[in-house]
A and B are shown apart, each in its own frame.
Chain A
Amino acid sequence: MSGLEDLYREIILDHYRSPRNRGELPVPPATRSDGFNPLCGDEIVVYLQLDDPSKGDDALIDDIRIGGQGCSISQSSASMMSAAVKGHTVAEARHLTRAFKAMMSIHEGELGGDGSESELSGDDSGDVGTIALGDLDALKGVVKFPVRIKCATLGWNTLLQGFDETAD
């Protein structure tokens, strides 16, 4: 069915049906950020609990919860994101976000390409530890469906927004 299996990989549907870290955290001490995709009405809410916000990028993500509603791509991407960043530092999560967004945009100019490996590892890793993309790799098929890229990145942009808000 023309590429649909690439988009809706089993692991994506699994995260959609059984989202990880779904729910809320008490605010404060947690922070809440809201992301919207104005085109389709999808919403993601990210609750973040850092061990010590004053540590900035060195703070540890003690807990994260995801709320909102939307399509399988936006919801599964946020679910996978929450599982990937929990227990890691803000710096590591930022790095993963960059890697994920690179994967989402790398083929944008050459759609219909073979979706070959992107340069996810060894780019600007510097001295921050890296988190493996793991399950997130399953979202690679989204780049063949350009209108869905915004669905996939919604949760991540909301996470970054959350980091910026805790920094204030």
Chain B
Amino acid sequence: MAAGVVRPVADLEPLDAARIKADFPILARPAGGSRLVFLDSAASSQRPTAVGEAIDRYYAEDHANVHRAAYALAERATNAMESGRRRVASFVGGSSAEEIVFTKNATESLNLVARSWGAANLRPGDVVVLSLMEHHANIVPWLQLAESHGVELRWLGLTPEGRLDLSGIDEALDGASLLSITGMSNVLGTVPPVAELAERAHAAGALVCVDACQSAPHTITRVVDLGADFLAFSGHKLCGPTGVGVLWARTELLESMPPFLGGGGMILDVRTDGFTPAAVPHKFEAGTPPIAEIVGLAAAIDYLEDIGLDRIAAHEHMLTEYALETLPARFGDDLTIFGPANAEHRGGIVSFAFADIHPHDLSQVLDTHGVCVRPGHHCAKPLMRVLGVGATARASWYLYNDTDDIDALADALADARSFFAI
């Protein structure tokens, strides 16, 4: 079993959804006369009170710029940030804090891999393998490299059901330098067998970059088990603040890579004729880092791990099964769900088409019921072309959602159908 997710362990204690909801005050706010039914966590999750409190406490007690100062306050700020780095390293099962580079989001992390590792190592004709279900953040940096460095891109396709098509995998990986692949599709919820792919990629001599934006918030991440060489994610999708992202990479890779952005904080020495970069990971962290956001991210990780990512995964799996059962039963042919029809190897993201109502119009009507779903191409236009649609409506859940939320979605869909009276 390589997928690394979604097999619920039967004896895990179920989540107490009501208690968890209480940790997220925004969920108690009224929305258009209804309660807020937040089903857009794949775009950005909500934050528990603990995260805001940690950030407030940091600003109230410990804030100064990090590094480069002798006074005690700056040391406390530096400690807060560096303990956040250790926290993130243990969260992904890394072996040392040096493997963690802080960025502003996953997009920047993936650009760092392309611009630094890619530009330094790839020559014209070298191959990067991607899948057709990648987010633009894991496509455009490679397209840019194709333009600037003549890198060849190869694409892993999908089965009709929306799983990764593994039939051409060995040909695709033959002679490749890198496989860069999502840990979970942000449109279909599909969880590709990353560990198995990584094994094959390594056998072919390629490195493996995992876009863990959608997987890290919902499941236990172990870089070694995944076989990742690089792994990227954003804080704001896992209950953390916006403005902080993570790149994990093996230390020797980071050491071999040239700096990405230049400036303060990333140097050892600067002369008029050149500079010497700092050691990793600081070499990749030019300028004042998002210190408070790193503190908030560490608090979010504490929050999630206190609950248990295995329990969170099991809870979401239960919700996915519930949605995949109840929605088609209620709406029949009016509902088309994209992606795998059963919850196996699938996370809590469901994209759908409904009753010939355009997703944009649909989400407008759902909004009047307080139901937040996202319409659009979800930054995955190549995937939209495979699906043959311009846009989908997407509902996604997290630890604070429950079956009532999915029922609320269903009721709102029924109302949209009668509003547009088709």
Interface residues of A (CB under 8 A from B): 1-2, 4, 7-8, 13, 39-43, 69-73, 145, 148, 151
Q: Are B32 and A2 in contact (CB under 8 A)?
A: yes
Q: Are A148 and B364 in contact (CB under 8 A)?
A: yes
Q: Are A71 and B361 in contact (CB under 8 A)?
A: yes
Which residues 379-401 of B sit at the A interface, judged by CB distance below 8 A?
381, 384, 390-391
Q: Are A145 and B364 in contact (CB under 8 A)?
A: yes
Which residues 88-103 of B sit at the A interface, judged by CB distance below 8 A?
none
Question: Which residues of B sit under 8 angstroms from A71, Cβ to Cβ?
Answer: 358-361, 375
With most chain A CB atoms within 10 A of its CB, the pick from B32, B368, B390 is B390
Q: Is B265 an interface residue (CB 8 A)?
A: no
With most chain B CB atoms within 10 A of its CB, the pick from A4, A13, A43, A73 is A4
Q: Are B365 and A43 in contact (CB under 8 A)?
A: no
Q: Are A40 and B375 in contact (CB under 8 A)?
A: yes
Q: Are A7 and B364 in contact (CB under 8 A)?
A: yes
Q: Are B384 and A41 in contact (CB under 8 A)?
A: yes
Question: Which residues of A sit under 8 angstroms from B283, Cβ to Cβ?
Answer: none
Closest partner residue, chain A, to B391 (CB atom) = A41
13 A-B pairs with CB atoms under 8 Å apart are: A1-B368, A2-B32, A2-B33, A8-B419, A40-B359, A40-B360, A41-B381, A70-B390, A70-B391, A71-B358, A71-B361, A73-B361, A145-B364
Q: Are B420 and A13 in contact (CB under 8 A)?
A: yes
Interface residues of B (CB under 8 A from A): 32-33, 358-361, 364-365, 368, 375-377, 381, 384, 390-391, 419-420
Question: Which residues of B sit under 8 angstroms from A2, Cβ to Cβ?
Answer: 32-33, 368
Q: How far is the CA of A4 from the CA of B33 in the complex (A)?
A: 14
- Residue in B359, B365, B375, B384 whose beta carbon sits within 8 Å of that of A4 in the complex: B365
Give the distance to chain B from A10, nearest Cβ to Cβ, in Å. Answer: 11
Q: Are B377 and A41 in contact (CB under 8 A)?
A: yes
Q: A4-B365, A41-B390 are in contact. Are A70 and B358 (CB under 8 A)?
A: yes
Q: Are A42 and B364 in contact (CB under 8 A)?
A: no
Give the distance to chain A from B125, nearest Cβ to Cβ, in Å. Answer: 31
Q: Are A39 and B33 in contact (CB under 8 A)?
A: no
Top 9 closest pairs, chain A to chain B, by CB: A71-B360, A41-B377, A71-B358, A41-B391, A41-B390, A40-B376, A2-B368, A72-B361, A69-B390
Question: Which residues of A sit under 8 angstroms from B360, Cβ to Cβ?
Answer: 40, 42, 70-73, 148, 151
Question: Which residues of A sit under 8 angstroms from B368, Cβ to Cβ?
Answer: 1-2, 4
Give the distance to chain B from A87, nearest Cβ to Cβ, in Å. Answer: 29
Question: Which residues of B sit under 8 angstroms from A43, Cβ to Cβ?
Answer: 390
Q: How far is the CA of A72 from the CA of B420 in the complex (A)?
A: 11
Q: How far is the CA of A70 from the CA of B359 in the complex (A)?
A: 9
Q: How far is the CA of A5 from the CA of B238 in the complex (A)?
A: 37
Q: A1-B368, A7-B364, A148-B364 are in contact. Are A41 and B358 (CB under 8 A)?
A: no
Q: Are A72 and B358 in contact (CB under 8 A)?
A: yes
Q: Are B391 and A40 in contact (CB under 8 A)?
A: yes
Q: How far is the CA of A7 from the CA of B359 in the complex (A)?
A: 15
- Residue in A1, A70, A148 whose beta carbon sits within 8 Å of that of B419 in the complex: A1
Question: Which residues of A sit under 8 angstroms from B358, Cβ to Cβ?
Answer: 70-72
Closest partner residue, chain B, to A74 (CB atom) = B360
Q: How far is the CA of A96 from the CA of B278 in the complex (A)?
A: 60
Q: How far is the CA of A8 from the CA of B32 in the complex (A)?
A: 18
Question: Which residues of B sit under 8 angstroms from A72, Cβ to Cβ?
Answer: 358, 360-361
Q: How far is the CA of A69 from the CA of B390 in the complex (A)?
A: 7
Q: How far is the CA of A69 from the CA of B375 in the complex (A)?
A: 14
